[in-house]
């Protein structure tokens, strides 16, 4: 085979064979297919799409480019969650311990943030001593002992995806739903979980801005998981306004601990419980202990503390705080009609909570604490939010990001429901 033959077949709307897909993914990973040739193929996929059979084969080829973890010998069934990313999305932190406290093993491979969306590893790395890098042997031991692990993926898991993603990022092909789905699912399938729940975000702060595109992505990923023998279900959830009241790494850890202690914002608790129930159902553990009970009775907190300590962290250590703060007050009285997730996420990024490039550092204490959510009454001069940063020069650009993202009116604007749809 040669790359031009494969490019032309997809350019002309043909369905690529498994042999063509296997060859081109392997050849590109080994450097036999040039970046410009794979970029042309990615663009052809973006414009022409893929059948379900092609997407499954593409995912499988990326999956086989590296190792695949296997936790089938564990005495507990394994189940995992993946979120497509959002603002204030700290759900993994209370969710993994809660599900483990209900009898499942949760092997969660997570990533770092880029742009306005936060990364789970960045949040956890704000805990003094906590480390993200674990060997498969350490993961297995922690799953046996604690029941949950959240860590970074090793370099040998789906290496084809890392190379392809970097290319898509600079060639305008990130938006292709088949390529997005294959990228996500190759990594999640490589971690060896027996069941998978997908949290597909919808709204201004999400990658998918409208419900129909999100539903298409969810359906594609569920199909890939199902065809690879993994029980997979997806929830479409709202990301038009931030989740919870904290946006920023250490701030979100503190809020997650509140949830684990039986409190916390209602939307964070609701989504944690909904996803937890789906994870347990997918793992065949529905009908047993409920995640809501695990949050209330302290068992989820017990798992959290053991999980953090097992990875070198001190669950009792003070979290980092930013050196400077600035209160944003309401300009008039009324109802907080809209609080745009993207505007808040961009402001938190500019305060130092996020990164523009993957090699950038983040400020663990930077971010935003919200004092009101859409629908709440507000008085003129009352605090809407507090900005936190180590560098006061950052406040001006953060405030500029918020311009137009906050509206106070007579009534709340129409909003997406937190739980929009379920796809299986």
224 near 261, Cβ under 8 Å?
A: no
23/286 Cα distance (integer angstroms): 42
Structure tokens at 78: 């394994």
What angle, rounded to 10 degrees, do the helices at 35-48 and 177-190 form?
110
Q: Give me the torsion for CA of 370, 236, 256, 290, rounded to 10°.
A: 140
DSSP category for residue 114: B
**From residue 377, how far is each of 168, 332, 382 by CA, in Å?**
44, 11, 10
Helix axes 159-169, 35-48, angle to 10 degrees: 80
The CA distance from 413 to 406, in Å, is 11
Place of tokens 């695949």: 68
Pull the structure tokens for residue 164. Answer: 């392809």
Please count the other Cβ atoms lying within 10 Å of the Cβ belonging to residue 399.
14
- Which residues have a catalytic role annotated? 82, 161, 168, 183, 187
**Which is nearest to 99 in space by CA: 193, 192, 218?**
193
**Strand spans (E) along 268-411:** 324-329, 334-339, 367-370, 377-378, 383-389, 406-409
Q: Which candidate, 321, 418, 304, places its Cα nearest to that of 369? A: 321
**205: nearest Cα among 376, 368, 380:** 368
């Amino acid at each position: 085979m040669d790359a031009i033959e494969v490019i032309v077949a997809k350019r002309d709307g043909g369905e690529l064979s498994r042999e063509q897909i296997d060859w081109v993914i392997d050849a590109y990973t080994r450097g036999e297919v040039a970046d410009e040739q794979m970029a042309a193929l990615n663009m052809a996929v973006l414009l022409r799409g893929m059948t379900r059979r092609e997407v499954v084969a593409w995912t499988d080829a990326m999956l086989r480019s590296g190792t695949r973890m296997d936790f089938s010998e564990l005495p507990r069934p394994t189940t995992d969650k993946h979120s497509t990313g959002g603002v204030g999305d700290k759900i993994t932190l209370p969710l993994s311990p809660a599900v483990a406290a209900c009898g499942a093993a949760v092997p969660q491979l997570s990533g770092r943030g880029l742009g306005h969306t936060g990364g789970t590893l960045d949040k956890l790395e704000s805990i003094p001593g906590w480390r993200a890098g674990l060997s498969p042997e350490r993961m297995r031991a922690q799953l046996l002992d604690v029941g949950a692990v959240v860590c970074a993926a090793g370099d040998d898991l789906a290496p084809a995806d890392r190379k392809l993603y970097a290319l898509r990022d600079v060639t305008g092909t990130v938006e292709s739903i088949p390529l997005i789905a294959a990228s996500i699912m190759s990594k999640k399938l490589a971690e060896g979980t027996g069941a998978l729940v997908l949290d597909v975000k919808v709204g201004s702060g999400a990658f998918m801005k409208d419900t129909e595109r999100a539903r298409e992505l969810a359906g594609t990923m569920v199909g890939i998981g199902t065809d690879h023998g993994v029980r997979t279900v997806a929830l479409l959830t709202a990301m038009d306004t931030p989740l919870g009241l904290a946006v920023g790494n250490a701030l979100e850890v503190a809020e997650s601990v509140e949830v684990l202690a039986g409190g916390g914002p209602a939307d964070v608790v609701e989504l944690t419980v909904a996803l937890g129930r789906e994870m347990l159902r997918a793992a065949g553990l529905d009908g047993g202990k409920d995640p809501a009970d695990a949050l209330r009775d302290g068992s989820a907190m017990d798992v959290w503390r053991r999980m953090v300590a097992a990875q070198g962290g001190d669950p009792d250590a003070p979290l980092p705080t930013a050196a400077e703060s600035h209160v944003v007050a309401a300009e008039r009285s009324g109802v907080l009609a809209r609080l745009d997730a993207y505007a808040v996420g961009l402001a938190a990024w500019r305060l130092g909570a996020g990164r523009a490039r993957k090699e950038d550092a983040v400020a663990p204490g930077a971010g935003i604490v919200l004092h009101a959510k859409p629908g709440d009454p507000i008085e003129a001069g009352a605090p809407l939010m507090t900005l936190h940063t180590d560098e006061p020069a950052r406040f001006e650009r953060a405030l500029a990001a918020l311009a137009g993202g906050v509206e106070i009116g007579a009534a709340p604007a129409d909003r997406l429901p937190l739980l929009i749809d379920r796809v299986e």
